[in-house]
């Protein structure tokens, strides 16, 4: 299964009412523990960001292929695969963040969900706004804002293992490619 290395789509930028980055969003804010009994991937999306003030209606607004931009330490807290899977359920193509919680990043990489680290991408208001169209090259770590015509510096390219797992679809599928 070949997955796209270049993703071009509309972006959502997680900011508060004052336009500032929302840092340290934990897995309970991403996917509340009240919904952990739901195991069907297609049902998880409706609860994405449901416990994050100001973003409760995100599932109704997001469209498949959209890109999400987040602040520092996104996905901190407990190991909760649903906090990754709820975005997969919505069809979110990619999350770009200043940094990610270690367990969240590992869960995303293992499930083949793309996370791109790009320090400073959200902390400078006006660099990128919700609704802009971004083009992201995962293998090069390049981010280009088609709306403003500006290249965003600092994106970290996918490691070879991250790219291999992403291209395979998830860690289990990747393992099959190295065992055969």
The pLDDT of 123-138, averaged and rounded, is 87
For the chain, how far is it from start to end, CA to CA, in angstroms? 16
Q: What is the CATH number of domain 11-132?
A: 3.20.19.10
pLDDT band at 123 (very low <50, low <70, confident <90, very high): confident
Q: Is pLDDT above 70 for 106?
A: yes
Per-residue pLDDT band for 180 (boundaries 50, 70, 90) equals confident
Asked if pLDDT for residue 63 goes beyond 60, the answer is yes
Model pLDDT, residue 79:
86
**Percent of the residues in the chain that have a pLDDT greater than 90, as a whole number:** 86
Residue 144 predicted with pLDDT over 70: yes
pLDDT of residue 1: 62
Residue 40: burial class (beta carbons within 10 Å; 0-12, 13-18, 19+)? exposed
Q: Which of 61-65, 89-93, 146-150 has the lowest mean pLDDT?
A: 146-150
Note the helical H segments in the chain.
27-30, 41-44, 58-61, 82-90, 102-110, 160-168, 171-179
pTM score, whole prediction = 0.94
Predicted pLDDT of residue 2: 82
């Amino acid at each position: 299964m070949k997955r796209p290395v270049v993703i071009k789509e509309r972006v959502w930028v997680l900011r508060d009412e004052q336009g500032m980055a929302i840092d340290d969003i934990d897995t309970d804010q991403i996917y509340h523990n009240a919904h952990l009994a739901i195991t069907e991937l297609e049902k998880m999306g409706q609860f994405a960001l449901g416990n994050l003030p100001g973003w409760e209606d995100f599932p109704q607004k997001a469209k498949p292929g959209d890109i999400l931009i987040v602040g520092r330490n996104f996905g901190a807290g407990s190991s909760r695969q649903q906090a990754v899977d709820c975005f997969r359920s919505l069809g979110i193509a990619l999350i770009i963040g200043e940094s990610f919680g270690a367990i969240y990043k590992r869960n995303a990489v293992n499930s083949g969900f793309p996370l791109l680290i790009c320090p400073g991408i959200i902390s400078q208001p006006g660099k990128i706004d919700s609704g802009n169209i971004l083009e992201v090259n995962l293998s090069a770590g390049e981010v280009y804002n088609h709306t403003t015509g500006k290249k965003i510096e600092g994106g970290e390219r996918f490691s070879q293992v991250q790219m291999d797992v992403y291209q395979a679809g998830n860690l289990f599928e990747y393992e099959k490619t190295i065992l055969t």
